[in-house]
Structure 1
Amino acid sequence: MAAPFNYRHLYYFWVVAKEGGMARAADRLGMAVQTISAQVRALEQALGHALFKPAGRGMTLTEAGVVAMAHADQIFQLGEQLPAAVHEAATGQGLRLAVGISDSMPKLVVRHLLQPALEDSRVRLLAHEDEFDRLLADLALHRLDAVLSDRAATPNPNLRLYSHALGDAPLGWFAPVALLKGKPRFPQCLAELPVLLPTGHAAVRPRLDQWFERQGIRPRIAGEFEDSALLAAFGRSGMGVFPASSWSHEELLQDSRVRLVGQTPELVEHFFLISAERKIQHPLVQRLVQAA
């Protein structure tokens, strides 16, 4: 039977790997080399695999050691953040909210969804934008408190993630005023105007393509964008007509360069908050779900 796992042994292994050898680790920790070596051997026995192998006059990590080092880095980096996080919570100096934002999310919608948590002046928001799958991995490792996305997390036996619906928003279409003169009414105008669309990484893109097909419209696609803010920026600059969530209409309507030309209530974007726990404990994440 394998020896029980010991985090002190993991810490000694972590220091040896970071320092590049037993002797340097012993100097840093103020301990005998033999003691450090025994701690690392105990960890290897507990895990059932060698973590180091000879390399010239020194040593290097085995494949198992590389995996162990990656996890140890995460564990001890979180540990280094613990005192500051506890101090902030105990003194009421701040409420930290680390949110992952899927790169397919419309930025104006993100602001709308996060607004309930930002009403408290003590909130310190950490927003990380990245690819959906990478954000889910960070969430599972508790680097993030929640992830905002336009799709629910797919079931994965290796990841315990829970999707909470935040709401649905229909799409409207905005066009540069300069392009509208002499064009037919919506939606026929989409057959003659240059069209800007999100790329296929956005959950709504297949629904847009299907909608065009049902309307019998073959759009002249002038641009495709992964970043929704760039899509809107190019649309507002005059490049073409573009779809936008109803939750972002208020700001777009204030721009005299574009005009709302049509609504498509049958085209809906769905938004989700994904957490690593079924019963959410973080008070700010609770507020976001309750507001929805």
Structure 2
Amino acid sequence: MNFKHLRYFMTVAQEGSINRASEKLHLTPQTISGQLKLLEDELGAPLFKKRGRNLKLTKAGQHALGYAQEIFLLGDELQQGIRSDNRYKVQRFNIGIADVLPKLITYHLLEPSLSLTDPTRLICHEGPLPSLLADLATRKVDLVLADRPLDSSFHVRAYNHLLGECGLSFFATTKDAGQYRDNFPQSLEGAPMLMPSAETERGTGLARWFDRHKIRPDIRVECADTALIEAFGLSGAGIFCAPSVIEQQMTQQYGVEVIGRMDDIRERFYAISLERRVSHPGVLAVCNAARMALFEEPATAEQQAE
């Protein structure tokens, strides 16, 4: 079996189309189509079926994808095992970070990995979750940090590890905080609001929360980048939210004030790995520190299994 064919097949499965896979692999669509046809002929079954403009895996394709991921995982482990004989080699910890995660949360999650016994170089890759999961499947990253769990919409065989959860706090500059703190949350009616985009977990949850409380804020900015939202908020452009677990740091470092909190919407943070039982020392450091120190309550056994 030609392993190059497997690599092309796995990329098409992750991207959902031959055109997107060709852009990622820097090959023509015709080349990839031809290689896929050869693989299907060799396996004796179609691996994809068309659904609109995208390609979906057949049952045979899902079966083949699991084997392909295992094959490349074993190959990477072989290389790492041989290279590890050099005791002076710095251990590389490649981490994928969903671009919607707050920077302070990300820092606290990753900081323990810098205190490992073996010399470690932390290499951070920030981007959209689907792209990071594709990198995880091909072992370009060891772990992905996200605000949502992996589900069946992603064609990646991996496992969710719930790091913790917390509520949300509303912040405003000192100049504006007083007028919104009284009679919260009704005080947010017509208030200038900086909202996460609707495609983010926080944005969806906030929109439902406002509807439930029959509150209509004046949305001034809407975007997925939490750092940009905070920059607008620090300039006085409007009220913004952040996880309550970093509330003290937000007020101390940025000089903003809390105007209210909500616990009925819980923001969750996940580590996603190819391992059901975590063994990578960097991944262990992240998971253990998050559950023991960063969040108020450790994740339960049921939550960790999600």
Taking structure 1 as the reference length, what is the TM-score of the superposition? 0.69
Residue aligning to 2:34: 64
State whether residues 233 and 240 of structure 2, in contact with CA within 8 Å, keep that contact through their aligned partners in structure 1: yes
How far apart, CA to CA, are the structure 1 residues paired with 2:238 and 2:85? Answer: 48
Residue aligning to 2:243: 245
Alpha-carbon distance, 1:85 to partner: 8.7
How far apart, CA to CA, are the structure 2 residues paired with 1:200 and 1:113? Answer: 25
Alpha-carbon distance, 1:248 to partner: 2.4
* Identical pairs, percent: 35
Residue aligning to 1:133: 130
Find 1:213's aligned residue among 203, 211, 214: 211
- Which structure has the greater CA radius of gyration? 1
**Partner SS, residue 140 of structure 2:** coil
**Partner SS, residue 284 of structure 1:** helix
Q: Relative to structure 1, is the Cα distance of residues 158 and 173 closer, same or farther in structure 2, using a 3 angstrom cutoff?
A: closer
Residue aligning to 2:162: 165
**Partner SS, residue 151 of structure 1:** coil
Alpha-carbon distance, 1:250 to partner: 2.8
| Residue 280 of structure 2 corresponds to residue 282 of structure 1 | yes
State whether residues 175 and 260 of structure 1, in contact with CA within 8 Å, keep that contact through their aligned partners in structure 2: yes
How far apart, CA to CA, are the structure 1 residues paired with 2:108 and 2:37? Answer: 39
Instruction: Report the residue type matching 1:107 in the other structure.
Output: K
Q: Which runs of 5+ in 2 are unaligned?
A: 6-29, 39-70, 292-306
How far apart, CA to CA, are the structure 2 residues paired with 1:232 and 1:264? Answer: 18
Instruction: Report the residue type matching 1:200 in the other structure.
Output: A
Instruction: Report the residue type matching 2:104 in the other structure.
Output: L
How far apart, CA to CA, are the structure 2 residues paired with 1:67 and 1:126? Answer: 37
Alpha-carbon distance, 1:109 to partner: 0.9
TM alignment of 1:1-292, pairs within 5 A: 5=1, 61=31, 63-65=33-35, 87=83, 90-120=86-116, 122-155=119-152, 158-180=155-177, 182-183=179-180, 185=182, 186-255=184-253, 257-291=255-289, 292=291
Q: Relative to structure 1, is the Cα distance of residues 158 and 215 closer, same or farther in structure 2, using a 3 angstrom cutoff?
A: closer
The ranges of structure 1 where at least 4 consecutive aligned residues each deviate by more than 6 angstroms after the TM superposition are: 82-85
State whether residues 160 and 277 of structure 1, in contact with CA within 8 Å, keep that contact through their aligned partners in structure 2: no
| Deviation digits for residues 83-140 of structure 1 (CA, Å, limit 9, x no counterpart) | 7995466324422111111112111111121122222372211111111111111111
| Deviation digits for residues 138-195 of structure 1 (CA, Å, limit 9, x no counterpart) | 1111111010000000036952111010000211010112223545612222114200
**Partner SS, residue 155 of structure 1:** coil
Q: Relative to structure 1, is the Cα distance of residues 64 and 240 closer, same or farther in structure 2, using a 3 angstrom cutoff?
A: same
How far apart, CA to CA, are the structure 1 residues paired with 2:276 and 2:32? Answer: 37
RMSD in angstroms over aligned alpha carbons? Answer: 3.4
Taking structure 2 as the reference length, what is the TM-score of the superposition? 0.67
State whether residues 237 and 257 of structure 1, in contact with CA within 8 Å, keep that contact through their aligned partners in structure 2: no
Q: Which runs of 5+ in 1 are unaligned?
A: 12-59, 69-74
